[in-house]
Amino acid sequence: MLLRHTTDKVAERSALTINPAKTCQPVGAMYAALGINKCLPHSHGSQGCCAYHRSSLTRHFKDPIMATTSSFTEGASVFGGQANILEAITNIFALYDPEIIAVHTTCLSETIGDDLNQIIKKAYQEGKIPKGKKVFYASTPSFKGSHVTGYSNMTTGMVQYFSENTGKPLKQINLIPSFIEPSDMAEIKRMTSEMGVKFVMFPDTSGVVNSPMDGKFHMYPKGGTTIEQIKSAGDSSFTLALGRVGAMSAAKLLDTKCKVPCEILDLPIGVRGTDNFLDNLRKVAGVHVPDSLMMERGQLVDVMTDMSQYTYNKTAALVGDPDILVSTAEFLVDLGIKILYVVSGTPAGPKFERRIKEIAGEDVKVKTGANADMFYFHQLIKGNKPDLIFGNTYAKYIARDEDIPLIRIGFPIYDRVGHQYMPIMGYKGGLRLLEKILSAVMDRQDRDAPEERYELVM
């Protein structure tokens, strides 16, 4: 439904969300679980919940997402879901033979108060979990937080259950990314390898949700971080968490539990973001930035300089996940683009607002949480139209209604392809994002140009 009835008068709301700018925690938890090698995500709730979570990820990645469910009925809703999940664990290992089951809760199981810790212990005691296999869980109620919160909780659960300090230090770095594309995870790994640094990244969905078509069905693609690698993270020398909202919690727990020091960085989008990531990596690993990465940096700076007349003094509105918005805003400011509005349905706290204002200036309007929804975002845009909108697929309705070009970033992107395979992180990813921005600007310029100004060469 188009939203042409939206007014430009913003009324503060405390108890109503209209078209939320987020999705629920279990979606993020399921995505994080897929970043473990031979892991099967399990939704402790109803079949409908699991179907929605799988559908959201499948439509975004254009790849079938495997997950199981406790299949709650009215009986489980009243008496609890212990019997359901114990039977599910038995069936899952018998039928699908994963190495590990990652259980995430839903609204229903959280509301009735199922004690997953006790239930999983019971499953071990009763021999329902085969020797060498693992089951763990994360609390991810849908009635608070967002998919980024759920991703963070599942990633933190990996540290809680598996990472350990054996007293034998390893010369390796932990990389914990926020909720980002598998292509971006692959690009971060490529740059780290280019630096000659030994590392462990978790979760790692590259090669899992963007695996190649080879004519065969693979229940568990080759990608993903192994349990042994996650265990070894407790012996690493340092942790770099990329994204405050999605990655900080796991990094802090590694510090507390295993005494692995950490640094919380913004995602490496654009020149400054990537510079900061590589500089921190250089310092903690004691290596140099190779010429190959410096060449990629120079190419990005070259295009930024050559095409600055098309980006300078443009205005933009951003909606989506907080970690991506922070780094994207910084890149846009470097391009000479003024940020008008930044909206995220994920509750990101006052630090997020301070960081955005530090990047974009005090005039930018920032809002997060349940009432920072698409309706509110639309109202802001109606009051003062930007030149560009940055957001996921759901922003296309606003972009169409207001006749503003949309650059798709974040989750979910249902109506385009490529985000699974082509990154926006790093210098190469920054070049791709810049190309998307320039194409949007130039397409609009061509569309609106009179005959005498319709040029062959820009």
Distance, CA of 409 to CA of 392 (rounded, Å): 5
Q: What does 38-58 look like in DSSP terms, one character per residue? A: TEEEEEES-HHHHHHHHHHHH
The residue among 77 and 110 whose pLDDT is bigger is 110
pLDDT at 78: 79
Tell me the C-alpha to C-alpha distance, in Å, between residue 318 and each of 141, 357, 439, 440, 444: 27, 13, 18, 15, 19
**Comparing C-alpha atoms, which of 232, 239, 121, 112 is closest to residue 174?**
239
Question: CB atoms < 10 A from the CB of 176, how many?
Answer: 28
Distance, CA of 291 to CA of 380 (rounded, Å): 44
Q: Model confidence over 248-291: pLDDT tens digits? A: 999 999 999 999 999 999 999 999 999 999 999 999 999 999 99
pLDDT at 320: 97
Which residues does 219 contact at the CB level (< 8 Å), separation at least 6?
A: 66, 96
Helix and strand tally (H, E) in the chain?
18, 13
Tell me the C-alpha to C-alpha distance, in Å, between residue 353 and each of 220, 277, 335: 40, 22, 21
* Average pLDDT across the chain, whole number: 95
Helix (H) or strand (E) holding 240: strand 238-242
Q: Model confidence over 87-130: pLDDT tens digits? A: 999 999 999 999 999 999 999 899 899 999 999 999 999 999 99
Residues 124 and 4 sit within 8 Å (Cβ to Cβ):
no
pLDDT at 371: 87
Q: Where does the pLDDT of residue 333 fall: very low under 50, low under 70, confident under 90, or very high at 90 and above? A: very high
Distance, CA of 187 to CA of 52 (rounded, Å): 29
pLDDT at 3: 66
pLDDT at 162: 97
Question: Angle CA(371)–CA(56)–CA(102) in degrees, nearest 5?
Answer: 100
Q: What percent of the chain has pLDDT over 70?
A: 99
Structural domains of the chain sorted by starting position, each given as residue range(s) with its CATH number in brackets: 25-144 (3.40.50.1980), 173-294 (3.40.50.1980), 296-426 (3.40.50.1980)
Burial class (CB in 10 A: 0-12, 13-18, 19+), 299: middle
**Comparing C-alpha atoms, which of 280, 257, 278, 270 is closest to residue 332?**
270
Q: Where does the pLDDT of residue 140 fall: very low under 50, low under 70, confident under 90, or very high at 90 and above? A: very high
